[in-house]
Structure formats: C-alpha cells, structure tokens
Structure 1
Amino acid sequence: MTSQLLKSISYIFHPLLMPLLGVIFYFSKTPRFIPDPVLKAKLFSVTILTVVLPMLLFYLLKTLRKVNSVHLETTDERKLPLLLNSLIIALVLIRVLPQNEIPELYFFFIGILISTITCFALAVVKFKASIHMIAATGFFMFAVALAIHFKININGTIALMCIILGAIATSRLHLKAHTPTELIIGFFVGLMPQMVLLNYWI
C-alpha cells in the first residue's frame, strides 16, 4: 500500500504539470484585473505547450526508440527531451507570456528555462539531477515570491508544499530513481534561478 502511494506521488506531481500549476496559482492570487478571454487563452496555450505537446513528443521519441520510459532513467535518455522542452519553454516566453504582459509569469518561465538548460548540461556530463525536485521547488519558490509581491497570506499553501516536497523526495528515494545527492542538486537547480530572478520583478 505504501509502495503504491509513493509511486503515485511521482505521477501526481509530475514535472510537466508544475509550470501550468504556477500559472493557475498566479491567476488565482493576483489582485490585477485580467479579462476572462485573456485568462482562458493563456491557460489554454500553456496547457497545450507545456503538457500536451511534451507528451506527444515523448510518445514520438518512444516510437523512435530514443527513450524507453516516461521516467527517463538514464542521462542519455534525458538529453533530447530536455533540449526539446527548453525550446518549448522559449516558445512560451516569446508567444504566450512576453515580459510586457505579465512580468511575474515571464520571469517564472525564465527560471524554468534556466533550470531546464542546467539539467540538460548536467545530463551531458552524466549527472542525473531530479527533475521532479527541480520542478516542484521552482513552483514552491515562485509561490512564496508571489505571496511577498502581492502581500498575501499563503501559510497554508507553503506548509502543504513543504509536505509535498518531502513526499516527492521520499517517493524518488523509495523507487530508487535518485540518490540523496541527485535530489539535493535538483532542489537547488529549481530554487536558485527563481530566487535570483526575484530581483527583476519584486
């Protein structure tokens, strides 16, 4: 039972969902007025580009035998998906969330792009940083930054995210997907870009 629960955590909090979760969280907390058509268009575009398109590309890569499983268990398997994801995030920045429209989300995705490129560089040198931790930590830092920026109380969300981060780390260790070092490096690869970029929008 415990094993199944820990395994399900890796799927529920999959890295592909974290950028979209950040966008949803922003729209749910921002005090700014955003017309419904704009909001829906942004959510739809981000969903297609950051969730649906990567899934389709994964199945294409699997068909071409470039990857073996959704977990991308080896560093060689990671390179092409990470490179393609970097291009997708760049497309989001150019076409969906340019800086002059919603700067908070623009810099959130800049942080995601930096983390993705860093993860790719680590894969090139045969180091497998935890993508789960990178994505979850990036979202966590963004949520905290929004709370500071908009002066809102999200203590409950912060407490829940701390529990979720612990659960993700436990899940990845239990499944023997990562070592403690890979989880710690993943934590900082997700955290540091978001933290550094705070200087540009807070």
Structure 2
Amino acid sequence: MNTRVALFLSVVLHPLLMPTYLFGLLFLFVPELLGINTLSLSAQGSLLLLLFMNTFLAPALVIFYFYKLGYIRSLHLDNLADRRLPYITTVIIYTFATYLFGWQFEPISDLAPGISIVLGSITFSMAVVALISLRWKISAHATGMGGCLGAIACLFLRYGDTTLFYPLILGILITGWLMSARLHLNAHTPAQVGAGLALGVVVSTVAIFTFF
C-alpha cells in the first residue's frame, strides 16, 4: 500500500470520526430503527451535526489545546504516553454526550433511545481502549472501525433489513484497507490491530443484542 494512501485512510477514518460516519449511515439507511424517521430531513441533519460536535469537534479541540500547551508531543498520538490524557478526556466527553442524548435532549431521548445505546457502546469501547493504553498500544482506529462494523452487522442480522447489506460489505472492505494502512505505517503490530478490531466488534455486538 502506498504511504500517502495509508496516511489518507488514517486521517479520513480517524476514530473520532467513526461515530459521525456510523450515525450518518444509520440515519440514511435505517432511520426507523433509531426512531428518527418521524423527523424532517433538516431535523435529522441538525441532529447529526450535534452528534458530530459532541463526538469529534469537542474532543478534537481539547486534544489540540493539550498539544499547544505541550502536554502531548504530537497530534498523531504515536507515543503511548501521549495517548493517555487525550483518551481519558475523550471518554469523559463521550460519557457526557451519552448522558445528554439519553436523558436530557427531549424529545430525542424519548423518540430515539437507540442513539444513546450506540453512543454508550462507543463510549465503553473508548474507556477500555484508554485503560489498555496505560500499558499497551491497542489500535483505536481498529476499535472504532470494529465497532461500526459490528453495529451494522448486528442490526442487519437482528432486523433483517436488506438495505444494510451493501453498507456491511463496504464496511468489511474499508476495515481491511484501514488495518492494512495502520500496519503499513508501522503504527501498530498485527496483535494491536487485531485486538482493537475484536474489542470494537464484541462491545457493539453485546450492546445491540442486549439493549437495542
């Protein structure tokens, strides 16, 4: 794989962008499963923007602030020590976002409880990644992609909605490309990438089949 392509995939498929991609896909293909099919397209767009602000913009700005203050040496978080503070802070932000969407943002919390379930599973995955990263450099990219892939696959299997078939196939292909990219860049070992993928898939699978 070309290094530029690998870098491009790592940036475009950044872990903080995974929730926006996942919710965007679910909003587009299966809005009825999340309970947002009664909302207008503009309202769905505003909801997706709000999710983007909470799951990408807020933690990204905090991480950039840490970088400018010198608490972390690189925005790529290549060093294990650099990952700890951003990961812990991101988990706190995601926990707060899950609380807002699950209990405070009415009528969304009543109409679409599935949003907080998916967001909660993402938050739990990130918490486990943050905990593991105290000792070992597990792949957050693979965890995020595994979570998306697991959620799509489980919704497809549980509800039999055929509209998710092609997104599932595309997700499998993208997951393979991303894992190859992380290995090509020597960002992780195969074990770290595999563990991240397994973590994401397992957590999303348990969340969907238990709470959805």
Tell me the residue number matched to 2:187: 177
**Corresponding position of 1:113:** 123
Unaligned runs of 5+ in 2: 104-108
Runs of 4+ in 1 over 4 A off after TM superposition: none
Supply the AA of the counterpart residue of 2:38.
I
Partner of 1:70: 75
Contact between 2:99 and 2:116, CA under 8 Å: does it hold in 1?
Answer: no
**Structure 1 contact 138–194 (Cα < 8 Å) conserved:** yes
Q: Tell me which of 38, 43, 49 is aligned to 1:34.
A: 38
TM-score (norm 2): 0.87
1:136 maps onto 2:145 in alignment: yes
Q: Which moved more, 1:103-112 or 1:143-152?
A: 143-152
Structure 2 CA distance for partners of 1:149 and 1:102, relative to 1, 3 Å: farther
Aligned to 1:80, what secondary structure does the other structure show?
helix
Q: Using the alignment, how far apart are the partners of 2:15 and 2:133 within structure 1?
A: 16
Checking the alignment, whether the CA contact within 8 Å between 1:45 and 1:96 is kept in structure 2 is no
* Aligned-pair identity (%): 21
Aligned mate of 1:85, from 80, 87, 90:
90
Number of residue-to-residue matches in the alignment: 201
1:57 pairs with 2:62: yes
Show structure 1 runs of 5+ residues with no match. none
Residue 21 of structure 1 is matched in structure 2 by: 21
Residue 122 of structure 1: which of 114, 132, 138 is its match?
132
TM-score, normalising length from structure 1? 0.91
Letter in 1 for 2:127: I
Report SS of the residue matched to 2:157.
Answer: helix
Give me the whole-angstrom Cα distance separating, in 1, the residues matched to 2:11 and 2:195.
21
1:153-164 residue pairs with structure 2 within 5 A? 153=162, 154-164=164-174
